Amino acid sequence: MEGAEVLGRLNWQFGEVVATQRETDRAKSITLSVPDWSGHRAGQHVDLRLTSEDGYHAERSYSIASAPEDRPRVTITVERIETGEVSPYLTDELHEGDKLELRGPIGGYFVWEASMGGPLFLVAGGSGIVPLMAMIRHQAASGSSVPTRLLYSSRSLAEIIYRDELERLAQGSKRLEVRHTLTREAPTGWAGYHRRVDADMLREVAWPADKHPLTYICGPTPFVEATATFLAALGYASQRIKTERFGPSG
């Protein structure tokens, strides 16, 4: 897989939609069967290309949500952007049996595999959970003993992507701990946090700095930058913090 992130070495290929899963009202997981898939590392992404009848191309990048062990199947999770050019089609119109053109895997920095060790601290904002979910699924599929903590910030309970699966994985493992914070709506009796991620929350949830955790943060740029700054103030080594930012796209 060496050099896979160099686009010039990647070819476009077709994958067939073999399953879809509604994760929230706005987010949908799409599983593709890609016969010639070379494999990926948890945290990488793919480019998708849609072509209209008049030849117009639209390309978007999506993080891979599935574990490397799922090869040759590749799952992405798409959050619908109301004004988007691509995401409404993927979330609302795509069906099993349809084909999508993709290339990848892409990216070699924001990746984790069990051999890299830990402890692992994952911090997600909104759909930033997607590449981190690939890491969590890889941990489970590989039988890794690396202790992992996830702090996941969502606007409401209904917008927590993979909520049931995360609960099931955490309940069935002594290696995975999951903590949620809701920034807008919280249901009656909610036992999790109900505010934006801040220094006090991280002080309570994060691994102690002297354990030298390997940290991955993914979400909107302000969220990522604030979280990384808070962790640095707690003594986290900058070379052990990896970040991935995203903004609105189609």
What's at 65, amino acid-wise? A
Q: What average pLDDT does the segment 235-242 reach? A: 96
Could you tell me where the DSSP H helices lie in 80-171?
87-92, 129-142, 163-171
The 10s digit of each residue's pLDDT in 41-58 is 999 999 999 988 888 889
The strand pairing partners of 65, in sequence order, are none
Q: What average pLDDT does the segment 97-112 reach? A: 97
Fold held by 114-246: Rossmann fold (3.40.50)
Q: What average pLDDT does the segment 163-168 reach? A: 97
Would the pLDDT of 6 be above 60? no
Given a contact cutoff of 8 angstroms between Cβ atoms, the answer to whether 202 and 175 are in contact is no
The 10s digit of each residue's pLDDT in 175-187 is 999 999 999 999 9
Q: What is the domain partition of the chain in residue ranges? A: 7-106, 114-246
Would the pLDDT of 247 be above 90? no
- The reply to whether 7-106 and 114-246 are identical in fold is no
Residue 142 has φ and ψ, to the nearest 5°, of: -85, -10
Report strand pairing: 45-51 vs 57-63.
antiparallel
The 10s digit of each residue's pLDDT in 188-220 is 999 999 999 999 999 999 999 999 999 999 999
Q: How far are the Cα atoms of 51, 82, 132, 220, 249 from residue 138, in angstroms, in the given order? A: 32, 32, 10, 24, 27
CA dist., res. 186 & res. 27, Å (int): 20
Could you tell me where the DSSP H helices lie in the chain?
87-92, 129-142, 163-171, 199-205, 221-233
Tokens of 112: 């984790």
Would the pLDDT of 136 be above 80? yes
Would the pLDDT of 249 be above 50? no
Rounded-to-10 torsion of CA 103, 108, 110, 113: 100
What are the b/e assignments for 125-139, b being 16+ CB within 10 Å?
Answer: bbbbbbbbbbbbbbb
- Work out the pLDDT band at 15, boundaries 50, 70, 90: very high
Would the pLDDT of 5 be above 50? no
Mean pLDDT across the chain, nearest whole number?
93
- Stretch among 51-55, 83-87, 220-224 having the lowest mean pLDDT: 51-55
- Check: CATH 1.10.3470.10 for 7-106? no
| Residues, the chain | 250
- Work out the pLDDT band at 12, boundaries 50, 70, 90: very high
